[in-house]
């Protein structure tokens, strides 16, 4: 929680620090703080691609630890983090009029139900 409602810079710094520690969200005391918090905690396309690759490799290895082509070591905690990131992405709203071509793929990876008839 960041008590200074008009301190967007301080809020963003706190949120970025929290995310660097592995947190997936932050409390707000005022609605004007939500855009900065959402901006910091919304997974980027690169993070989603990383998570998809990690889960695909982990599953292909039968749930055993595996070394990716780039040298990253993936074990259960890393796969769990990738899973949580994809689950978060599925829960985020898609802006009106925006296409979400990856939603079906991400839901298939995490086993989430489809949320609309258009998918």
pLDDT at 12 (0 to 100): 95
pTM of the model: 0.65
The answer to whether residue 100 is catalytic is no
* Pairwise pLDDT comparison (99 vs 6), residue with the higher score: 6
Active-site annotation holder among 39, 75, 80, 105: 75
| Strands 66-67, 73-74: pairing kind | antiparallel
How far is 78 from 102, CA to CA, in rounded Å?
21
Question: In sequence order, what E strands does 1-119 have?
Answer: 66-67, 73-74
Instruction: Tell me the CA end-to-end span of the chain in Å, nearest whole number.
Output: 36
With 0-12 / 13-18 / 19 or more C-beta atoms within 10 angstroms meaning exposed / middle / buried, residue 87 is middle
Residue 78 has pLDDT above 90, yes or no: yes
Three-class DSSP category at 94: coil
């Amino acid at each position: 929680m960041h008590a200074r409602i008009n301190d967007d810079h301080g809020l963003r710094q706190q949120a970025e620090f929290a995310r660097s520690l592995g947190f997936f969200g932050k409390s707000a005391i005022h609605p004007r703080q939500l855009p900065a918090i959402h901006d910091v905690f919304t997974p980027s396309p690169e993070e989603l691609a990383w998570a998809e690759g990690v889960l695909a490799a982990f599953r292909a290895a039968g749930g055993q630890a595996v070394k990716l082509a780039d040298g990253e070591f993936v074990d259960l905690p890393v796969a769990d983090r990738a899973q949580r990131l994809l689950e978060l992405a599925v829960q985020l709203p898609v802006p009106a009029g925006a296409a979400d071509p990856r939603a079906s793929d991400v839901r298939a990876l995490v086993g989430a139900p489809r949320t609309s008839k258009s998918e």
